[in-house]
Structure 1
């Protein structure tokens, strides 16, 4: 990403860029930066977009070989095609022959790094993988957005925000906009503000219930379970949240044993980096075999509910009671 910024600042923008990875927010941000640096974003005569696997390669090349209309540059954006899995014959050679005024920006969720086109762009253009930033970068990014709006959000509030919202940067950006509007006259954003604006009452109680189970606090866990039922949360939905939670604990337990660091664990389990320590701490309260058994109990309970062998409300409550009583053997 640093290289793209340098290219834009220097005016030495390459003919081809590939932006790939799981973080759509970053891909779209840098796509738009490149477009803005090369042309008027509203110039439909010189900006062309292709999307999807049904790409007409011949049409793409014909447009790419056309000189810009009353402008200096032509920009072509190609998103989520199959070009980086199966590349047409001679496609790279045809890209080499394009006029200097043409710039192509490819966006992909996944690419095969053994692919000819990927290797060609890596050598002749620039390929940049864009995944969710690590804990330090995400923290700095959120603080930077707050600073732009004249707001301040301390680390505790940011950790709570990301833990409950996830690490999807587009979602985080949208939720921050809500917080900025809510705190229009007050520069300080707190955990309470996040709870009020971003986290639903049901979501907050769900996390609290999982924490109570993790600390073997049966009375609190059952009280929160009943609160969730009062909020009309379906028992089967609560059960699936339990299944997900203990499946993550099981994965974390195995990864910690394998010597993986927090960043590797977060990526493997698809959880925010900030949450790894909490999950790792809870995982230590059980053996791996206990966690696997708890995952299987969740699955068995769901099957029993579907088969009509137990009422959903009762089945989930019995599961919570059993989990709260489990201690590390």
Structure 2
């Protein structure tokens, strides 16, 4: 990220960039900042593409076209799939991009073994926008609050982040709510956080997993219905349940090796408060029980993808399963 910031500051751009990773907020933020820095708001020399099926020959032709009364032509390509499937012609071309063109790829997923990934790394710059750790998020959120004349203690910030999770877009929205709610006051309290901040979906998933393994079927189904009411897609719910069980399994194994909360958090790249919440849950369940549900999640996903079950029914069967 520092390289992107430096290139924008010096207005000296590489021929091609790849911005990828899980943190959507950061990806969008840097994409928009790079676009503004390169084009200066000029849309005549801006070409944007999104989704799979983009014509590589058209990209190459545009790249070879001189910009119209401008220093650079920007070609912005999002979620192309070029870094997950063969794109040899484009990969070969990247070494020949003229000085008057800059290509920026913004991708959700990449294969680091792909020719495109290796070529961008060779001739341009690759930047992964991963989830930020607790310290980085707390510092970023604290800076936003400070600009608004607000103060918050470390404990209250930890409570706030435990509710919002590590999604920066969600954190930003919850901060805006907190700032508006505390209008006229400079101190943000734990009571403010409890009152105004929406509990994140993953907290409900955590409670759902507890209910599943404790065979509290009614409670698990009620939580599922709550998430469906919030317009959460069944397959995303299944993904989050699977992720929670996998995380439980990892924590269980690390605890068995004698690792403490801080070490587990560092090893799994999760906030310490998250590790502290998962550890008691991991103690409550046998490794066999957790493994059973990890496998059930895999089976449920496969059943949906192969058309044997509808997504909603697949999750319902998982919630009511008795291992």
TM-score, reference length from structure 1 = 0.71
Pairing 1:71–2:41 present: no
Q: Residue 207 of structure 1: CA displacement? A: 9.8
Q: Corresponding residue for 1:323? A: none
**Distance change in 2, residues 1:106/1:254 (3 Å):** same
Q: Residue 44 of structure 1: CA displacement? A: 1.9
Q: Residue 59 of structure 1: CA displacement? A: 1.7
Q: Corresponding residue for 2:133? A: 134
Alignment of 1:134-283 (within 5 A): 134-199=133-198, 234=222, 237=225, 248-257=247-256, 261-266=264-269, 272-283=271-282
- Asked whether the equivalents of residues 161 and 194 of structure 1 are also in contact (C-alpha less than 8 Å), the reply is yes
Q: What root-mean-square deviation, in Å, do the aligned CA atoms of Structure 1 and Structure 2 show? A: 4.2
Q: Deviations over 1:125-175 (max 9, x none)?
A: 100111101222122111122122222222222222222222111111122
CA distance in structure 2 between the aligned counterparts of 1:21 and 1:181, rounded to whole angstroms: 31
Structure 1: runs of 5 or more not aligned: 214-221, 297-302, 320-329
CA distance in structure 1 between the aligned counterparts of 2:96 and 2:288, rounded to whole angstroms: 60
CA distance in structure 1 between the aligned counterparts of 2:14 and 2:294, rounded to whole angstroms: 50
Q: Corresponding residue for 1:322? A: none
- Asked whether the equivalents of residues 19 and 129 of structure 1 are also in contact (C-alpha less than 8 Å), the reply is yes
Structure 2: runs of 5 or more not aligned: 228-236, 296-312
CA distance in structure 2 between the aligned counterparts of 1:289 and 1:142, rounded to whole angstroms: 40
- Asked whether the equivalents of residues 266 and 276 of structure 1 are also in contact (C-alpha less than 8 Å), the reply is no
Q: Residue 85 of structure 1: CA displacement? A: 2.2
CA distance in structure 2 between the aligned counterparts of 1:159 and 1:153, rounded to whole angstroms: 10
The SS at the match of 1:176 is helix
The SS at the match of 1:261 is helix
Structure showing greater radius of gyration is: 1
CA distance in structure 2 between the aligned counterparts of 1:104 and 1:206, rounded to whole angstroms: 41
Q: Deviations over 1:236-270 (max 9, x none)?
A: 558999x7877754442124335563133356xxx
Q: Deviations over 1:46-75 (max 9, x none)?
A: 222110012121222222222222222211
Q: Corresponding residue for 1:22? A: 22
Q: Residue 21 of structure 1: CA displacement? A: 1.0
Q: Corresponding residue for 1:300? A: none
